[in-house]
Chains A and B, each alone.
Chain A
Amino acid sequence: MRAGAAVAAVRRRSASRASTLYLFALPATLLFVVFVAYPILWVAEQSFYAGRTDGAAVFAGLANYRSVLSDPTFWIVVRNMALWCVITIPVQMLIGGLLAYFIERHTHALRGFFRTMFFLPVVTSVSVISLVWVQIYAPYYGIAQEYLRHVGIVMMTSPIGDPKTAIYALIVVNIWQWTGFSMLMYIAGIANLPSEVLDAARIDGAKGWRLAVHVIVPMLAPATKSLLLLGVIGTLQTFPIVHLMTGGGPNRASEVFGTFIFKQSFVLGDTGSGAALSVIVLVIALALSLIQIAVLGARLSPAGKEKP
């Protein structure tokens, strides 16, 4: 009798336990459903509708997509984004990696100082950075023209005012802002290299550049893969630098996905093509990410946690 009651109590408790455990997962799921999944589904649906002047929407099939893809600006954007990826990612890896290598392996007392200083652009508000760089690039009173003249580079106009150079000038700013992040990722990687392997390499006679190139660089592959993945995603996120420095101009020459969507949706109020663009960016991002994860085994975590 007593035993039976105890059993029943135990059963009841464990049943209620199991269901309350899902409360751990609930808040994250709710946030995801409301603020990520629902907006994505909504935008996917809207991309098939065209807004009319009276406010009603009519089904438009692929019309939005056709108009986006036939817009020459779209192809400027694609070219700019490709340039952005191809230039930013390797340059940041190279500079960040070199800084990390020299800071981690050759400084001691000043290690924390260098780590912090090179990372400061990352924590500086992007809108502040953009305005400072506009000033740096400015004609007549900007310091870029003034100082570059001494090394033989003469600029007649602001590099962000010229359709041919605008996108490159923005890429420079972006590289400057985010190199500290690459550096920190590589620092984490270098600091955690197993010291036995480095000792073994030294006993094998590898040192200096040979050690760096043949031992350290390959062992930092996980950090490199993460940076590549984050770099691609980061590129597609690009917005504030362009919006604040050139607004996508001059003559749409430096337009990126962010500014293009912003203009279509919020300036022109064309929800249909804004939605179609959003879907296209989303598909590109997911495809590129999944390809990298599948092919390279890249990870999204910048903490660089790699299971051996």
Chain B
Amino acid sequence: MMAPLARSRMRGVVIHAVLFIVLGFWMVPQVYMLSIGLRTPAQAFDAALFTWPVTFDNFVTVIRDNPLGGIFLNSLIITVATVAIVVAVSSLFAFACAILRLKGSMLLYTTLLTTLMVPLASMVLPLAILLKNFGWVNTYIGLILPYAALGVPFAMVILKAFMEDAPRELFEAARVDGCNAWQTYWHVALPLVRPALVFVTIWQFIVTWNEFFLALIVLTRSEMKTLTIVPMQYSGLYMANPGALFAILTLIALPLILLYVLVQRAFVRGLLAGAVKG
């Protein structure tokens, strides 16, 4: 017989050990990617997870030979602009529904919600033709606006729910304090739903940064391409040199992984806050 305390400590150790083992398997693809990137050409085709020795030559080569900076910048511009538009537009709309309760806003809300159920697959063809007619193929705006349109509904659901949970008296107090609708939105509503804004911002950033389908169709000129669609062309270019290819893949995946590690606490907090209320 073990004492209850010792038994629960034992259980804790076992659970941690199991979690670490599962995580070890879970991380295999990422570790493998990094490992190949660190190989010499001679080891590149070894069927092993790790090889020795490691070299940084691949990273040096691909950074020297490829305009990764410009591609990164394309991704950044498109993503930041999309996130800004989505947050602004969806919070305005959520405010109209939840606080102003404009006539007809709930009908509009329900209509916009259906966007979430529309697979992008069924929209790429018309969007491609629409953007061609606008002359927006190979432009930033040609991706930013459709991304924003597709991102707004989700952000709006989250923000509306948060605003509805805020005490109504706060908005009445703002009216008594002399705020018009715009001032109430800016000084009261937005600060009140801050955790939700953070959550929506991070999620939209991840989604936009990694979007593939529409980017593939809209961005055909190589200097306009984003980080998500370039790996394809490199897989042809570095067919015989997996070390270089995986060095580039690592570099492409890295920015968002680092960003997420930095903001994950705020992201999870927003997610938890969302479910706390209501």
B116-144 with Cβ < 8 A to chain A? 116-130
Which of B57-65, B153-161, B166-174 binds A?
Answer: B153-161
Taking a contact as CB atoms under 8 Å apart, the answer to whether B27 and A117 are in contact is: yes
The contact of B32 among A136, A140, A281, A282, by CB within 8 Å, is A136
The contact of A257 among B22, B89, B119, by CB within 8 Å, is B119
Which of A83-91, A142-150, A196-204 binds B?
Answer: A142-150
Q: List 11 A-B contacts (CB under 8 A).
A: A39-B130, A46-B126, A123-B259, A135-B242, A146-B48, A188-B272, A237-B120, A282-B118, A286-B118, A301-B158, A305-B275
A282-308 with Cβ < 8 A to chain B? 282, 285-286, 289-290, 300-308
B234-276 to A contact mask, C-beta < 8 Å, 1/0: 0100000010011001001100110111001100101110111
B84 interfacial by beta-carbon distance below 8 Å: no
Chain B residue total in the interface (Cβ 8 A): 106
Q: Say whether chain A's binding surface is mostly helix, strand, loop, or mixed.
A: helix
Please, which residues of chain A bring their CB within 8 A of the CB of B126? Answer: 38-40, 42-43, 46, 275, 278
- Cα–Cα distance between A32 and B249 once the two chains are bound (Å): 35
Which of A55-63, A104-112, A156-164 binds B?
Answer: A104-112
A176 interfacial by beta-carbon distance below 8 Å: yes
The contact of A34 among B92, B129, B149, B265, by CB within 8 Å, is B149
Question: Which B-chain residue is minimally distant from A117 (CB atoms)?
Answer: B23
Taking a contact as CB atoms under 8 Å apart, the answer to whether A28 and B90 are in contact is: yes
Q: How far is the CB of A206 from chain B (nearest CB, A)?
A: 16
Q: How far is the CB of A144 from chain B (nearest CB, A)?
A: 9
- Cα–Cα distance between A28 and B145 once the two chains are bound (Å): 11
A126 interfacial by beta-carbon distance below 8 Å: yes
Taking a contact as CB atoms under 8 Å apart, the answer to whether B122 and A279 are in contact is: yes
Taking a contact as CB atoms under 8 Å apart, the answer to whether A28 and B22 are in contact is: no
Most buried by B among A106, A122, A146, A305: A305
Question: Which A-chain residue is minimally distant from B97 (CB atoms)?
Answer: A25
Instruction: List 5 extra interface pairs beyond A42-B126, A121-B30, A305-B274, CB under 8 A.
Output: A25-B93, A28-B93, A102-B19, A125-B209, A188-B274
Question: Which A-chain residue is minimally distant from B210 (CB atoms)?
Answer: A125
The contact of B119 among A34, A243, A244, A285, by CB within 8 Å, is A285
- Cα–Cα distance between A141 and B150 once the two chains are bound (Å): 41
Q: Known: A107-B16, A233-B117. Contact between A135 and B36, CB under 8 A?
A: yes
A127 interfacial by beta-carbon distance below 8 Å: yes
A36-48 to B contact mask, C-beta < 8 Å, 1/0: 1011101100100
The contact of B274 among A27, A35, A110, A304, by CB within 8 Å, is A304
Taking a contact as CB atoms under 8 Å apart, the answer to whether B275 and A188 are in contact is: yes
Complex A-B, nearest 6 residue pairs according to Cβ-Cβ distance, in ascending order: A303-B274, A39-B126, A35-B149, A278-B122, A24-B96, A28-B93
Please, which residues of chain A bring their CB within 8 A of the CB of B227? Answer: 125
Q: Known: A132-B32, A286-B114. Contact between A17 and B275, CB under 8 A?
A: no
Please, which residues of chain B bring their CB within 8 A of the CB of A32? Answer: 111-112, 115, 149, 152-153
Which of A3-11, A210-218, A260-268 binds B?
Answer: A260-268
Q: Known: A115-B264, A258-B213, A281-B122. Contact between A132 and B46, CB under 8 A?
A: no
